[in-house]
C-alpha cells in the first residue's frame, strides 16, 4: 500500500484585503510553529494581490503558497492575467487550475485547462486540477462519466504524482453547506484513481483532494475515506481556527 501524505489546501478565492490576509497567514504560521512536525501538508492560495505579502509571511515555514489560476502563455498581451512563471517567481509551488468557478464563470474548457496545466508544469509548479459534476449531472446518473471526461481532457501528457494533484469538487457542494455522501465520495475518488492510470505513470501516488463545504464538523469523516488524500477548502479556509481544525482532523 502506498502512503500518501494528506494535503490541506485553502482557496481564499476573491477574499481578503491586505490586513486580513496578513492576519490569516500570521495566525496559520503561529499554529504550525506551535504544533511542531505534523503529518499533513498545508497550502494556501490567496488572491493575486496578496501572493507576495503572504509569501513573505510564510517564507521559512512549512506552509506552501499557491496561485488560483494561471494563463497558458508564458507572457504577452493578456490584460489582467498571470503567467505560471510569475507565480513561481513569487515563491508559489502550486496553482489551482480548472476550478468550477473558472470553468463556469469564465467558460474554461478541458482543453484550456490542459494548456494551463502544461504551462504550470513548464514553470515547475504543481497543478491542482479541479473536476466535479453539477447537480443535474449527478441526478441524471452521469457523475462518473462527466468526471472521467474532465480528467481525460484536462490532464496533459507529462503529468505525474510530482506535478499533479486532483481535487474532486462536486459543483453543487461548493459554498452551499451541502457535502457529498461518504459512499459517493469513496466511489468517485476510487474511480478517479482508476481513470488516472491512463494519464500518469504512478496513479497510486497522486493526491486526490475532496472539496465542497469541508468544515471542522465534517472533515474527519471525509478525510478517513480510503482514496481521499486531503481537502480543498474555500469558506472555512478564511478562518484560521477552522482551517487548522480541518488539517488536524488528518492527524
Q: Which residues are catalytic?
A: 99, 169
- CB count within 10 Å of CB 195 equals 20
Site string for ligand PGA, 161-190 (x = CB under 6 A): --------x----xx---------------
What residues contact 111, with CB distance under 8 A and at least 6 apart? 153
CA–CA dist 171, 232 (Å, integer): 13
What residues contact 31, with CB distance under 8 A and at least 6 apart? 240, 244
C-alpha cell at 55: 509569501
**Helix (H/G/I), strand (E/B), else coil: 76:** coil
**Helix (H/G/I), strand (E/B), else coil: 66:** strand
Q: Please report, as residue ranges, which positions from 121 to 140 form the binding site for ligand PGA (by CB under 6 A).
A: none
Which residue lies nearer to ligand PGA by CB, 111 or 175? 175
Burial grade of 139 (CB within 10 A; 0-12, 13-18, 19 or more): exposed
Near ligand PGA by CB under 6 A: residue from 63, 65, 97, 214: 214
Residue that the C-alpha cell 480528467 belongs to: 151
Determine the interface stretch with ligand PGA among 29-37, 56-64, 149-157, 205-213 (rule: CB under 6 A): 205-213
* Closest separation in Å from C-beta 214 to ligand PGA: 5
Q: Please report, as residue ranges, which positions from 7 to 66 form the binding site for ligand PGA (by CB under 6 A).
A: 11
Which residue lies nearer to ligand PGA by CB, 21 or 124? 21
Which residue lies nearer to ligand PGA by CB, 131 or 233? 233
Examine residue 213 and tell whether it contacts ligand PGA (CB under 6 A). Answer: yes
CA–CA dist 78, 22 (Å, integer): 29
With CA atoms as reference, report the closest residue to 227 among 191, 195, 199, 198.
191
- Kindly state the DSSP code that residue 83 receives in the 8-state scheme: B
Start-to-end C-alpha separation, the chain: 19
Which residue lies nearer to ligand PGA by CB, 34 or 105? 105
Determine the interface stretch with ligand PGA among 19-27, 49-57, 111-119, 230-238 (rule: CB under 6 A): 230-238
* Closest separation in Å from C-beta 159 to ligand PGA: 20
Determine the interface stretch with ligand PGA among 46-54, 142-150, 194-202, 226-234 (rule: CB under 6 A): 226-234
* Closest separation in Å from C-beta 93 to ligand PGA: 18
C-alpha cell at 199: 494519464
Applying CB under 6 A, the residues found at the interface with ligand PGA are 11, 169, 174-175, 211-214, 232-236
Amino acid at each position: 500500500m502506498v502512503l500518501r501524505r494528506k494535503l490541506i489546501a485553502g482557496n481564499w478565492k476573491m477574499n481578503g484585503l491586505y490586513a486580513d490576509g496578513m492576519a490569516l497567514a500570521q495566525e496559520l504560521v503561529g499554529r504550525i510553529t506551535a504544533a511542531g512536525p505534523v503529518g499533513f501538508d498545508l497550502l494556501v492560495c490567496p488572491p493575486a494581490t496578496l501572493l507576495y505579502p503572504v509569501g513573505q509571511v510564510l517564507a521559512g515555514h512549512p506552509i506552501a503558497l499557491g496561485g488560483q489560476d494561471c494563463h497558458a502563455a508564458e507572457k504577452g498581451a493578456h490584460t489582467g492575467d498571470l503567467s505560471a512563471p510569475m507565480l513561481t517567481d513569487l515563491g508559489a509551488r502550486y496553482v489551482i487550475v480548472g476550478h468550477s468557478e473558472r470553468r463556469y464563470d469564465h467558460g474554461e474548457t478541458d482543453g484550456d485547462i490542459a494548456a494551463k496545466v502544461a504551462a504550470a508544469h513548464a514553470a515547475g509548479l504543481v497543478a491542482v486540477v479541479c473536476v466535479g459534476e453539477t447537480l443535474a449531472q449527478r441526478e441524471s446518473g452521469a457523475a462518473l462519466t462527466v468526471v472521467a471526461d474532465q480528467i481525460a481532457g484536462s490532464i496533459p501528457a507529462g503529468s505525474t504524482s510530482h506535478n499533479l494533484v486532483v481535487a474532486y469538487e462536486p459543483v453543487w457542494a461548493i459554498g452551499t453547506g451541502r457535502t457529498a455522501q461518504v459512499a459517493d465520495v469513496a466511489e468517485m475518488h476510487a474511480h478517479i484513481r482508476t481513470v488516472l492510470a491512463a494519464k500518469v505513470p504512478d496513479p497510486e501516488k497522486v493526491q486526490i483532494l475532496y472539496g465542497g463545504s469541508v468544515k471542522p464538523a465534517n472533515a474527519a469523516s471525509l478525510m478517513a475515506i480510503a482514496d481521499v488524500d486531503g481537502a480543498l477548502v474555500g469558506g472555512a479556509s478564511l478562518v484560521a481556527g477552522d482551517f487548522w481544525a480541518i488539517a488536524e482532523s488528518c492527524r
